[in-house]
């Protein structure tokens, strides 16, 4: 029998009618950290910065096959983490940083990973890593700058999504994976596109959910407002890593992640509760993310343009025509309208499918039954 459930994971929350959950689940995951660019090598960013060392926090589910041909690499969204699926044991949970604990024990796409689910660890070797620049264990503004003897903070070099893709490619090297199915949503979908263009020989299939080929003026405007909410806060200027302006930044972002129909469906009888919801999500965000990582990653997102240096968007996406690809739009997505995703699919010669939902951009995280059905028609 289906049940009504209030789902909360990371910054996401929705009231859903859910089928009974399968009793089968994956073993409690254990996050690991890999040094991918050691100090003897370092990492030069696309914009001319330098990191003397790069580490990525990651989790894996399942085992790499003898032929090394069953890997799936999943990229998370702007404020996601490596914790894709499963529930941490208490000892593991307590060993995490305060920000990681605030994210929660359950993975952000848990409904899709497990025995009998679309990303079944008995079939696939599923990999999820925290992006470079984030605050959940990978090298970012919170990391120690060995040259200065203190955390990077505001001195962390600016990144592009191509930097993020390059770090993830090195993780595949570290894990002995030559080729993988690559999946990403939102910012993760943008990184997936860049990864496929930079390393086409390493991609078996490409899945892009709720992400465009270029971060255009509408989406950049939301990021600009969110950053200004942080940058203009006197608390931020005085060094507070979680200024009140960051709560406002999250509220602005949440308005782009949701849609009017979802607000009306949930709060039509008490519209003031929609405002309370945004305030609540902002306060939660202060406990689980760091201002400098938010600034670094949102600026990196604004560099997204697959056509940069490749003769334009159309010419760049033509390079993907020999690669099996699936682009998934959302009918109520205000941030990256479905038509943008559909156009990218057409130019890349890929399949296009659409999620129907009142929940807007976040539907790729919320409507997991639809996502599973869409992926089931594409994955081997």
Listed by start position, the domains of the chain span 20-214+305-377, 215-303
pLDDT at 25: 78
Q: Choose among 128, 317, 130, 71: nearest CA to 211.
A: 317
pLDDT band at 5 (very low <50, low <70, confident <90, very high): very low
* 65: annotated active-site residue: no
Of 81, 128, 186, 357, which one is the catalytic site residue? 186
Contacts of 204 (CB under 8 A, 6+ apart): 69, 179, 180, 181, 182, 324
pLDDT at 157: 98
pLDDT at 24: 64
**20-214+305-377: CATH class:** alpha beta
pLDDT band at 1 (very low <50, low <70, confident <90, very high): very low
The DSSP output letter for 25 is -
pLDDT tens-digit readout, 62-106: 999 999 999 999 999 999 999 999 999 999 999 999 999 999 999
155 annotated to bind ligand = no
* 233: annotated active-site residue: no
The answer, yes or no, to whether residue 4 has pLDDT greater than 80, is no
Other beta carbons less than 10 A from residue 150's beta carbon: 10
Q: Please tell me the CATH code under which domain 215-303 is placed.
A: 1.10.1740.110
Of 163, 304, 333, 359, which one is the catalytic site residue? 333
Average pLDDT, the chain: 94
pLDDT at 6: 43
pLDDT at 21: 43
d(CA 272, CA 222): 23
29: three-class secondary structure by DSSP: coil
Global pTM value: 0.93
Residue with tokens 């990999």: 127
* 333: annotated active-site residue: yes
The answer, yes or no, to whether residue 9 has pLDDT greater than 90, is no
Other beta carbons less than 10 A from residue 1's beta carbon: 4
356 annotated to bind ligand = no
pLDDT tens-digit readout, 188-233: 999 999 999 999 999 999 999 999 999 999 999 999 999 999 999 9
């Amino acid at each position: 029998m289906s049940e009504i459930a209030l789902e909360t994971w990371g910054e996401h929350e929705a009231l859903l009618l859910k089928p009974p959950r399968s009793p089968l689940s994956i073993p409690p995951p254990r996050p690991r950290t890999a040094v991918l660019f050691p100090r003897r090598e370092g990492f030069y960013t696309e914009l001319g910065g330098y990191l003397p060392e790069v580490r990525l926090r990651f989790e894996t589910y399942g085992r790499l096959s003898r032929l090394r041909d069953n890997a799936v690499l999943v990229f998370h969204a702007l404020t996601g983490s490596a914790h894709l699926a499963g529930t941490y044991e208490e000892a593991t949970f307590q060993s995490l940083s305060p920000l990681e604990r605030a994210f929660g024990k359950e993975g952000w796409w848990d409904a899709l990973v497990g025995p009998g689910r679309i990303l079944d660890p008995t079939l696939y070797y599923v990999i999820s890593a925290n992006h470079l620049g984030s605050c959940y264990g990978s090298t970012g503004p919170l990391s120690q700058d060995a040259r200065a003897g203190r955390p990077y903070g505001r001195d962390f070099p600016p990144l592009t999504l191509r930097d993020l893709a390059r770090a993830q490619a090195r993780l595949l090297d570290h894990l002995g994976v030559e080729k993988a199915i690559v999946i990403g949503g939102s910012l993760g979908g943008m990184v997936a596109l860049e990864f496929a263009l930079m390393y086409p020989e390493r991609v078996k299939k490409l899945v892009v959910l709720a992400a465009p080929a270029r971060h255009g003026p509408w989406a950049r405007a939301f990021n600009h407002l969110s950053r200004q909410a942080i940058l203009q806060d006197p608390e931020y200027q005085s060094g507070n890593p979680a200024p009140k302006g960051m709560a406002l930044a999250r509220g602005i972002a949440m308005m782009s992640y949701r849609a009017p129909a979802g607000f009306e469906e949930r709060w039509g009888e008490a519209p003031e509760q929609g405002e309370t919801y945004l305030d609540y999500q902002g306060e939660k965000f202060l406990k689980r993310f760091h201002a400098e990582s938010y600034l670094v990653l949102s600026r990196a997102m604004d560099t997204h343009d697959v056509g940069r240096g490749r003769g334009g968007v159309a010419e760049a996406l033509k390079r993907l025509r020999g690669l099996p690809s699936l682009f998934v739009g959302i009918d109520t997505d205000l941030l990256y309208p479905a038509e943008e995703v559909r156009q990218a699919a057409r130019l890349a010669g890929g399949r296009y499918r659409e999620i129907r939902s009142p929940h807007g951009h976040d539907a790729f995280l919320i409507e997991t039954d639809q996502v599973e059905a869409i992926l089931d028609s594409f994955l081997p």
